[in-house]
Amino acid sequence: MNVFWFLPTHGDGHYLGTTKGARPVTLNYLKQVAQAADDLGYYGVLIPTGRSCEDSWVIASALVPLTERLKYLVAIRPGIISPTVSARMAATLDRLSGGRLLINVVTGGDPDENRGDGSFLDHSERYEV
């Protein structure tokens, strides 16, 4: 079984669903989380995607050289970025990381966020495309 940890690219705190007591997102903090997961033997880390999160591709690119074995599960949202650009980004990061990139294909969730990214399709329409 492969066990993953979570990189808090929207901030981190003691309380779910609120920013009360939240720790801001800094590269130093994300580095600490990634290195701890790597040292503890986690298979990889999920890097969330969304308008409230730091960009998952940039975060993965920044953290890959700071870890040894940890894999990075990065989201691709079809319809938001072209397939050829996604493939080129994925191939480059996978090669530079020594094969440590994993892809999470997501179609989006929150309708407001989807519209903000230019996707006006409903849930079932996104899966048909």
- pLDDT tens for the chain, residues 1 to 129: 999 999 999 877 766 666 666 788 899 999 999 999 999 999 999 998 888 889 999 999 999 999 999 999 998 887 788 889 999 999 999 999 999 999 998 877 776 676 666 666 676 766 676
Q: What is the pTM of this model?
A: 0.84
Q: What is the CATH number of the domain that holds 49?
A: 3.20.20.30
- Domain that includes residue 34, residue range: 4-128
The answer to whether 19 and 27 have CB atoms below 8 angstroms apart is no
What is the torsional sign of CA 6, 11, 12, 13?
negative
- The total number of structural domains in the chain stands at 1
Distance, in Å, from the CA atom of 72 to the CA atom of 102, rounded to the nearest integer, reads 6
